[in-house]
Amino acid sequence: MTAATLLEPKDEPDIGKLGMWVFLASEVLFFGGLFLAYLYGRTHWPLGWAAASRHTDVVLGTVNTALLLTSSAVVALAVACEEDARQRRWTARLLALTAALGAVFLVIKGFEWHAEWDEHLFPGPSFALDVAGAQEFFVLYFVMTGLHAVHMIVGVGALAILARGRSRDREWARSGHLEVAALYWHFVDVVWIFLYPLLYLVQRHG
Amino acid sequence: MTTSYLDDGLTIRSWLTTTDHKRIAILYAIAITCFFFVGGAAATIIRLELATPQGDLVSHDAYNKLFTAHGVIMVWLFLIPSIPSVLGNFLLPLMIGAKDLAFPRLNLMSWYLYVAGGLVTLEALFLGGVDTGWTFYTPYSTMFSNTYVVLTLTGVFITGFSSILTGLNFIVTIHTLRARAMGWFKLPLFVWGMYATSLILVLATPVLAITVLLLIAERLFQIGIFDPAFGGDPLLFQHLFWFYSHPAVYVMILPAMGVVSEIIPCFARRPIFGYRSMAYAIMTIASVGFLVWGHHMFVSGQSLTASMVFSLLSFIVAIPSAIKVFNWTATLYKGSIRFDAPMLYALGFVGLFTIGGLTGLFLASLALDVHLTDTYFVVAHFHYIMVGGAVMAYFAGLHFWWPKVTGRLYPEVWSRIAAVIAFIGFNLTFFPQFLLGIEGMPRRYHTYPPQFQVLNLFSSAGAGVLAIGYLMPLVYLTWSIRHGARAGDNPWAAKGFEWQTRSPPPTDNFDTPPTVPDIVYDYVADEPEFAR
């Protein structure tokens, strides 16, 4: 028989990070359903999906990919700066930069959606393309990029709040919460890394 | 004596803003009980209608809405949160020696999400109801049904997030907040059950969420995802839906197995037989349970190869399940058994779960399933698992930990009578449905050929008996809160951290740190303190 030593959340500094990892596991399955639907569509209408994919704006998509990858690197830098007392003054600025890059991504995405709406690429009775499967492609395109954008908005908001809190030296904007937010941001980035080739690059060659 | 968690703030506000896992468990218990009786009322009307072959009580439309309401409420608002959110919330931190869950505020948020989702669902049902069945099969749910599909799905979607956050909270708590010296293989099996359940909640529920979202999108914008008229595929819906909904069955039954694994050793005064195999078995069921969803789709037109693989995997789930049943039985061997109410419910669970599990193998057999699918055999099978298994175990746990939760004892004789009545009522309700199913009576109709009436009358009569079995605890447990005898800290002479603290426990759970035994379930026969 041994007496137990009781633990509290504050004894476990990494508790938030583990929580975020579990949440991200859940998120993988959330997007997983969409990827299954994608797999189904692409195997059923390979030609329709290739044709539809050519109507996406590959230039803007690529620019956005670059923006998001950069922002992920910047947030990693922010976490690294936070851990080093000499570099800590950079943390808030780097967080703000991450949020700004995310916001630019969202603005560009908005213009893209607007253009696609004008070109009647939004699924419905007046859908522009007359290839079997093209409409299904754009259903998934809008659902996937839309849900990704929702995640982006949450991330940009969280990073902006943290940047502000960090610049005022608030207790809650310390490294633990930063790492959790950064983890989330990397996830949003990783989802996009899958979405970009699957949506923009279907048989682009030739 | 210092105050208990119940005295720590007496205003309604102090309850609605609490972050104490024990109080949140009570909040869940109240909400869940309300939903249970709403869902039960729907079932009562269904059984009344089915007492005669003609449709003389409700119209066929109303009947469709009734069984949908019954299914939606019982699955999402009662069974899935019942044991995890009520007993799990209350007991998990106590059992591992923690002061609270890892994220107490998130825990409160889960409750609010659950109540919000529940109210949205109820609103849909009261506005006019839904007639799709709880499975929302497309294209009926997206094209043809003129009922409140979107509103109900919104409620289910919100409730789903409550499940995910509860699962997340439990997983992180079990990983990080176990008292030092409390290793993984010293955890009570209830905690193992909660861990396995939480994995399913976290990994399966998001797939339901996305499916529901796509269904709402298809219905609102008339775009093709699942509906063949727009180029979608209804089988895709079934795959996604059952990828969640089959593991969801394990969300109902694994916690039940955990409860029973606590009760049987206590009332047999024996250590649980095969502790490690119990822990491995529960994790195996949780993992393999993710790979059997296709057995709901044997007649859907999926490929024969897929059906054969799903059939094989479904049979494999029977192995760890059988390990558990044999271990419970072996625990009883040479035990010094007492038949208190928790034990009566727990033994009822073992028997009914075994019947439910074995009839599951009938349905997992491809050829037999073609005959039995969509008949009352299926209805009887899953009620043996969900009601005979999960609900029985919920009542077992409720009676076992009631003295700990409230600090009061309930009337012993009444509780034993209620347990026996529920057991008899349950079998009377659902056993005839196996026979009806074999004879070919289809589910989901409010009329049937007259030759089925005798068995249906048995079933309806049984439902009445079962209702009495459920109403009795409501009365005497409520009564005991004020008038029951003081329970003392450990009325069952049970092992485990939760019995080493006061009844009801203090807000911080422990006045003095509990002691960790060298082995779990260190019960010894003929302990003097058990002769209550």
What pairing do the DSSP bridges indicate for beta strands A2-3 and B515-516? Answer: antiparallel
Chain B, window 179-198: residues with a beta carbon less than 8 angstroms from a chain A beta carbon: 179-182
Q: Which of 3.20.20.80, 1.20.210.10, 1.10.10.10, 3.40.605.10 would CATH assign to domain B12-530?
A: 1.20.210.10
Output the pLDDT for position B151: 96
Output the pLDDT for position B232: 86
> What's the pLDDT tens digit per position in B327-343?
999 999 999 999 999 99
Q: Is residue A28 part of a domain?
A: no
Beta partners for B442? B375
Residue B61 to residue B295: CA distance in whole angstroms: 29
Smallest CA–CA distance, residue B513 to chain A, in Å, is 6
Our CA angle for A6, A8, A13, nearest 5°, is 130
Residue B69 to residue B284: CA distance in whole angstroms: 33
Residue B170 to residue B163: CA distance in whole angstroms: 11
Is the predicted pLDDT of residue B491 greater than 80, yes or no? yes
Phi-psi region of B441 (alpha: psi -120 to 50; beta: other; left: phi over 0): beta
> What's the pLDDT tens digit per position in B141-191?
988 888 899 999 999 999 999 999 999 999 999 999 999 888 999 999 999
Smallest CA–CA distance, residue A111 to chain B, in Å, is 22
Count of structural domains within chain A: 1
Q: Is residue A64 part of a domain?
A: yes
> What's the pLDDT tens digit per position in B433-484?
999 999 999 999 999 999 999 999 999 999 999 999 999 999 999 999 999 9
CA nearest to B513 within chain A: A4
Q: Does B516 touch chain A (CB under 8 A)?
A: yes
Q: For residue B282, what pLDDT band results from cuts at 50, 70 and 90?
A: very high
Q: Is residue A126 part of a domain?
A: yes
Output the pLDDT for position A149: 98
> What's the pLDDT tens digit per position in B12-38?
999 999 999 999 999 999 999 999 999
Is the predicted pLDDT of residue B47 greater than 60, yes or no? yes
With CA atoms as reference, report the closest residue to A151 among A60, A19, A24. Answer: A24
Output the pLDDT for position B529: 54
End-to-end alpha-carbon separation of chain A, Å?
74
Once rounded to an integer, what is the mean pLDDT over residues B85-99? 96
Instruction: Tell me whether residues A33 and B206 touch, CB distance under 8 A.
Output: yes
Output the pLDDT for position B143: 84
Instruction: Tell me whether residues A1 and B222 touch, CB distance under 8 A.
Output: no
Please list, in sequence order, all residues whose beta carbon lies within 8 angstroms of the beta carbon of residue B430, skipping any fewer than 6 positions away.
B379, B380, B383, B384, B387, B388, B459, B462
Going from the C-alpha of B511 to that of each of A10, A138, B97, B420, B495, the distances in angstroms are 19, 61, 11, 38, 17
Q: Does B519 touch chain A (CB under 8 A)?
A: no
Once rounded to an integer, what is the mean pLDDT over residues B237-253? 96
Smallest CA–CA distance, residue A87 to chain B, in Å, is 31
CATH number at residue A98: 1.20.120.80
Is the predicted pLDDT of residue B525 greater than 90, yes or no? no
Domain ranges of chain B: 12-530
Of B181, B223, B239, the CB nearest to A2: B181
Output the pLDDT for position B532: 47
Q: Does B207 touch chain A (CB under 8 A)?
A: yes
- Please say whether the beta carbons of B160 and B212 come within 8 A: yes
Give me the residues of chain A with pLDDT under 50, please: none
Q: Is residue A9 part of a domain?
A: no
> What's the pLDDT tens digit per position in B359-379?
999 999 999 999 999 999 999
As a three-state string, the secondary structure of B25-86 is HHHHHHHHHHHHHHHHHHHHHHHHHCCCCCCCCCCHHHHHHHHHHHHHHHHHHHHHHHHHHH
Six token digits for residue A80:
């690294």
Smallest CA–CA distance, residue B295 to chain A, in Å, is 19
Once rounded to an integer, what is the mean pLDDT over residues B39-54? 96
Q: Is residue A165 part of a domain?
A: yes
* DSSP labels, B201-258: HHHHHHHHHHHHHHHHHHHHH---SS-GGGT--HHHHHHHHHHHHHHHHHHHHHHHHH
Smallest CA–CA distance, residue B496 to chain A, in Å, is 12
Q: In a 3-state reduction of DSSP, which class is residue B500?
A: helix
- Please say whether the beta carbons of B354 and B301 come within 8 A: no
Cis before residue A123, ω within 30 degrees of 0? no
Output the pLDDT for position B210: 96
Instruction: Tell me whether residues A136 and B180 touch, CB distance under 8 A.
Output: no
Name the average pLDDT for chain B. Answer: 94
Chosen from B169, B176, B222 to mutate, greatest number of chain A CBs within 10 A: B176
* DSSP labels, B297-315: -TTTT--HHHHHHHHHHHH
Query: B103: which chain A residues are within 8 Å (Cβ-Cβ)?
Result: 9, 15, 19
Output the pLDDT for position B531: 47
Instruction: Tell me whether residues A139 and B240 touch, CB distance under 8 A.
Output: no
Residue B223 to residue B366: CA distance in whole angstroms: 34
Query: B243: which chain A residues are within 8 Å (Cβ-Cβ)?
Result: 33
Alpha helix segments (H runs only) across B269-340:
275-288, 304-332
Output the pLDDT for position B526: 63
Q: Domain span at residue A178?
A: 36-200
Residue B45 to residue B370: CA distance in whole angstroms: 30
Please list, in sequence order, all residues whose beta carbon lies within 8 angstroms of the beta carbon of residue A149, skipping any fewer than 6 positions away.
A106, A109
Chain B, window 81-120: residues with a beta carbon less than 8 angstroms from a chain A beta carbon: 97-100, 102-104
As a three-state string, the secondary structure of B385-443 is HHHHHHHHHHHHHHHHHHHHHHCECCCHHHHHHHHHHHHHHHHHHHHHHHHHHHHCCEC
- Please say whether the beta carbons of B411 and B341 come within 8 A: no
- Please say whether the beta carbons of B170 and B101 come within 8 A: yes
How do the residues of chain B divide into helix, strand and coil, expressed in percent and rounded to 5? Answer: 70, 0, 25
Output the pLDDT for position B504: 93
Residue A185 to residue A98: CA distance in whole angstroms: 9
Is the predicted pLDDT of residue B229 greater than 90, yes or no? no
